[in-house]
Amino acid sequence: MTPLASAASAALLLIAPFDKPLFTTCLSSSFYGSYRAGLNTYHSVFMPDATCFDSFAVGGPAAEAHVMEFTRTERELVWVEKEVVEASLTNAEKESMDDFFKHFGYIHATVPNVGGQQAFSGSSPHPLEVLHQTPDALLLSVPSAEAYGIDLILPRFWKSTILPSSPVEYIPVPFEDVEPIRNVLGKLRFDPVVASIVNNISLPQMKDDVRFLTGEDGKSGIVSRHSFTPGAIVAANWIKARIEESGAKCELWTFITGFTPNVICRYESTVPSDTRIIVSGHYDSRGSFGSTRAPGGDDDGSGTTSLLAIARTIGRKGLKFHTNVELIAFGGEEQGRLGSIAYARKLKVEGEKIALVVQADMLAYRAPDEPLQLGLPETIGTPEATQLVANISAIYSPELIVGYSAACCSDHQSFYDVGYPGTQVFERAGPIADPMYHNSGDLSDREGYSFEQLYGISKVQFATLLHMAGFELPK
Ligand X SMILES: *[C@@H]1O[C@H](CO)[C@@H](O)[C@H](O)[C@H]1NC(C)=O
User: Can you give the binding site for ligand X, defined by CB under 6 A?
Assistant: 185-186, 188, 200, 202, 316-317, 391, 394
Of these partners, ligand X, Zn ion, none, which one is at the site of residue 391 (CB under 5 to 8 Å by kind)? ligand X
Give CA 99 to chain center in angstroms.
26
Contact 215, 280 (CB under 8 A): no
- The CB-of-188 to ligand X minimum distance in angstroms stands at 6
For the chain, the first-to-last Cα distance in angstroms comes to: 51
Listed residue (376, 433, 378) closest to 400, CA to CA: 376
Q: Three-state DSSP class for 260?
A: coil
103 binds, among ligand X, Zn ion, none (CB under 5 to 8 A by kind): none
Give the nearer residue to ligand X in terms of CB position, either 220 or 391.
Answer: 391
Q: Which member of 209, 299, 411, 442 binds Zn ion (CB under 5 A)?
A: 299
Interface with Zn ion includes 81 (CB under 5 A)? no
| Residues in contact with 458: Cβ distance below 8 Å, sequence separation at least 6, in sequence order | 198, 201, 206, 305, 306, 309, 310, 360, 363
299 binds, options Zn ion, ligand X, none, Cβ within 5 to 8 A by partner type: Zn ion
Q: Do residues 78 and 162 make contact, with C-beta atoms less than 8 angstroms apart?
A: yes
E-strand ranges in 163-307 read: 249-253, 262-267, 276-282
Q: Which does 300 bind (CB under 5 to 8 A by kind): ligand X, Zn ion, none?
A: Zn ion
**Least distance (Å) from Zn ion to the CB of residue 266?**
23
CA distances from 408 to 84, 155, 183, 264 (A): 8, 18, 27, 23
326 vs 361, beta carbon nearer Zn ion? 361
Q: Is the peptide bond before 434 cis (omega within 30 degrees of 0)?
A: no
Handedness of CA 123, 125, 131, 135 (dihedral sign): positive
Cβ 473 to Zn ion shortest distance, Å: 33
- Closer CB to ligand X, residue 309 or residue 443? 309
Query: Which one of Zn ion, ligand X, none interacts with residue 361, CB within 5 to 8 A by kind?
Result: Zn ion
Q: Quick count: other Cβ atoms within 10 Å of Cβ 58?
A: 7
Q: How far is the CB of 61 from ligand X (least distance, A)?
A: 36
- In the complex, the smallest distance separating the C-beta of residue 226 from Zn ion, rounded to whole angstroms, is 12
- Kind and range of the H or E run holding 133: strand 129-134
Strand partners, 14: 46, 67
By CB under 5 A, which span of 9-17, 23-31, 202-210, 359-367 interacts with Zn ion?
359-367
Q: Is 442 in the site for Zn ion (CB under 5 A)?
A: no
Q: CB under 5 to 8 A by kind: which of ligand X, Zn ion, none does 185 bind?
A: ligand X
284/384 with CB nearer Zn ion? 284
Q: Residue 188 binds what, of ligand X, Zn ion, none (CB under 5 to 8 Å, by partner type)?
A: ligand X
CB atoms within 10 A of CB 64: 9
From 89-97, 147-155, 169-177, 300-308, give the range in contact with Zn ion by CB under 5 A: 300-308
Partner interacting with residue 119 (select from Zn ion, ligand X, none; CB below 5-8 Å by kind): none
Nearer to ligand X, 348 or 467 (CB): 467
Instruction: Tell me the closest approach of the beta carbon of residue 402 to ligand X, in angstroms.
Output: 9
3 state SS of 329: strand
Measured from the CB atom, the residue of 135 and 474 that comes closer to ligand X is: 474
**Three-class DSSP category at 325:** strand
Q: Which residues bind Zn ion (CB under 5 A)?
A: 299-300, 361
